[in-house]
Structure 1
Amino acid sequence: MYNPINYLITLRVVGKNKPFIIFIISGEFYVKKLSEELEGAGFRVQGFEKESLALKFLEKNNVQGVFLTNHSLEKSKSLVEEIKKTGNPAALFCSQTQCSPENIAELLNLGCDEFFLKTCPDVEIIARIKAVFRRSDRSKNRQIAANIHLDTDQFNFCGAAINPGHLEIIFDEKNKSKLGKKELGIIYYLASNPGVVISRNSLIHAVWGAHADTRSRSVDQYITKIRVLFEKYAEGLGSLRTLHGIGYWYDAKTLNKKKVNS
Structure 2
Amino acid sequence: MRADLPVRDPAPRLDRMTPPVRIGVQLQPQHADYAQIRDAVRRSEDLGVDVVFNWDHFFPLTGGPDGKHFECWTMLGAWAEQTSRVEIGALVTCNSYRNPELLADMARTVDHISGGRLVLGIGAGWFEKDYDQFGYEFGTPGTRIAELAAALPRIKARWAASNPVPTRDIPVLVGGGGERKTLRVVAEHADVWHAFGDAATIRRKSAILDEHGAAVGRDTASLVERSAAVSSPPEVAAADLLDAGVTLFTVGLSGPDYDLSLAQRWVAWRDARA
Q: Which bin holds the TM-score, normalised by the shorter protein?
A: 0.3 to 0.5
Larger strand percent: 1
Bigger CA radius of gyration: 1
Q: TM-score, normalised by structure 1?
A: 0.33
Flag the structure with higher helix content: 2
